[in-house]
Amino acid sequence: MLKNITIGQYLPGESFVHKLDPRTKILISILFIACLFIINKFIGYTFVVVFLLAIILIAKVPFRFIFNGLKPIFLLIVLTAALNIFMVRGAEGTEVFSIGFLKAYPEGLSIAAFMAIRLILLIVGTSLLTLTTSPIELTDGIEKLLRPIGKEMAHELAMMMTIALRFIPTLIDETDKIMKAQKARGADFESGGIIKKAKSLVPLLVPLFISSFRRADELAMAMEARGYRGGAGRTRMKILEFSYRDLVAFIVFCILVLWCIAVRFIML
């Protein structure tokens, strides 16, 4: 399951989406998340789904990456849906089914489905940002967007966020190696209930923390050896600039935003 986490991974490509300015993709991703919370009706997500499918097809991202990215949050989706199903109260006598003292009402089922769809679209949308944007481009884009708070602070914040995002796949691979090594020595991570499985993961923390600190120290030494001194005097191989692609992307996304607003405040 650890291999299925797609956040932080990058798929190189030459598609229209890959060539967009990273600032455009970051801003669209932020506004996309806002749109998901603006929509309050199922019909509102129809255009969102079409929008995501179009991006996936244009960027030529394999659907297996999308499905694999959803596997790690499957338990979270089920738990969120179950809480909404049994915690949302409806009119007396309208319950759909009951399990002991827990009763499910149509309102709870509707909200559960709504929240599950929202979580799925949220994960897919944010995963597309990292799948189509390299870590270097993300750093430059975040730094440019944070420039109003100060040049030096913007660079440091952008560097920290990008390094953290970049090392998610690395730490996942490291965790997988540690698990395989411990399984070869007789460790059991699969049998038993949820509590037992959680306890069995505790021995992974110590070697994982040691490995993380070692990698951080190696990265710091490598950056120092290459003369890294923060953002002062730093030059870039690729200068960010907006193009017609970004204008087209913003226009298409504005249609999505207008649709979300219409669903929320106009459609009854």
- The DSSP code for 97 is E
> Which of 66-80, 130-144, 153-167, 230-244 is the least confident region?
230-244
| pLDDT beyond 60 at 2 | no
Percent of the chain with pLDDT over 90: 0
Q: Centre a 10 Å sphere on the Cβ of residue 130 and count the other Cβ atoms it contains.
A: 22
DSSP string, 210-251: HHHHHHHHHHHHHHHHTT-BTBTT---SS-----HHHHHHHH
What is the model's pTM?
0.73
| pLDDT beyond 70 at 49 | yes
Q: What is the pLDDT of residues 152-196, one digit of tens each?
A: 677 777 777 777 777 777 777 787 788 788 778 777 666 666 676
CA–CA dist 214, 37 (Å, integer): 40
Residue of 50, 72, 52, 49 lying closest to 61 (CA atoms): 52
